[in-house]
Amino acid sequence: MSDLLGYEGKTVVMTGCATGMGAAAAEMLVGLGAEVWGLDLFDVKAPIHRTFRVNMMEKDTIDAAIAELPAEIDILFNCAGVPSPPTPAHDALKINFIGLRHLTDALIPRIREGGSIASIASTAGMGWKSNLDAVKAFLELGTFDAAVAEIEANPDKYQDGYGFAKQCIIVYTQMIAGELCEKNIRINCIAPSPTDGVFMDNLAKAMPREVVMPFTPANGQIAQPIDMGKVMILLGSDLASFVSGVNLPVDLGYCAQIYMGQRDNLMNIT
């Protein structure tokens, strides 16, 4: 019972582990005995095993890291993400989903039986059902290059790069859960409500902090990175060994209130 989470000796790959939710999760993983390989554009403070300098919107840097990652891994955590604004919409879509998918698709063959994948979506993507046809069409493009070409050819379709990217994460997670189940690999994602940290600081450069308050829980609380890091750790762990294909709102009841008609449905959540 001393290793309920099951991370001792596990090989973990994690993006976005320099700041925010990913940094919080990385610190926990090291403490739990995991060997963590990190991909980030910035310096990682947690004492992880190895770090690769990667820009998730640049395929070449992702591929360079993939070439040096272990041949077998146990868990992949997709934590890299940027707000938009101030990040341009198309760059946000590349970083938050296109790069994420490219890395994930490449590493799935390396994930050991019983392994798992967990990604960070957002409550900003919770309107995915009403946009499902468009999301599926984008997923059908398949490759990094095809997705980028689609954005460049139809820029007006992707003006909400952030929200659309998060919808894509949620749908992608559910669409491949069955396929991965046949390999005994789990995949899940979380949908955080507004969370403090570098992400929120960058967002505040483009809009007043008050703008996000309508999307916080009923008590107006903005989450802390550790609140999300802990749930990511849970979903990747042995404690969640029969959980897959789940998009878990981590929002202290925000989405529940939307479903029950108790507050304004500002993001068209269905």
Task: Please report, for the domain that includes residue 252, its CATH number.
Answer: 3.40.50.720
Q: What share of the chain is helix, strand, coil (3-state, %, to 5)?
A: 45, 15, 35
State the average pLDDT over residues 183-207: 88
Q: What is the mean pLDDT of the chain?
A: 95
Closest CA to 141 of 77, 69, 93: 93
Question: Domain for residue 269, yes or no?
Answer: no
Number of domains in the chain: 1
Residues 114-165 have pLDDT tens digits of 999 999 999 999 999 999 999 999 999 999 999 999 999 999 999 999 999 9
**Within 10 A of 199 (CB to CB), how many other CB atoms are there?**
20
Q: Does 24 reside within a domain?
A: yes
Omega prior to 85 cis, within 30 of 0: yes
For residues 21 and 196, give the distance between their C-alpha atoms in angstroms, rounded to a whole number.
Answer: 9
SS (H, E, C) 54-74: CCCCCHHHHHHHHHHCCCCEE
Range of the domain at 86: 11-259
In a domain, residue 247? The reply is: yes
Residue 5 placed within a domain = no
| pLDDT score of 1 | 47
State the Cα–Cα distance between residues 86 and 49, nearest whole angstrom. 32
Taking only Cα atoms into account, the Rg of the chain, rounded to an integer number of angstroms, comes to 17
**Structural domain contains residue 22:** yes
Is the distance from CB of 118 to CB of 190 less than 8 angstroms? Answer: yes
Span 73-101, pLDDT tens digits: 999 999 999 998 899 999 999 999 999 99
Lowest mean pLDDT among 20-24, 100-104, 155-159: 155-159
Whether residue 156 is contained in a domain is answered as yes
What pTM did the predictor assign?
0.95
So what's the pLDDT on residue 199? 81
Distances in Å between the Cα of 22 and the Cα atoms of 104, 112, 160, 168, 244 are 16, 22, 24, 20, 20
Label residue 50 exposed, middle or buried (CB < 10 Å: 0-12, 13-18, 19+): middle
239 belongs to a structural domain: yes
Residue 209 resides in a domain: yes
Q: Give the pLDDT confidence score for residue 209 in this predicted structure.
A: 78
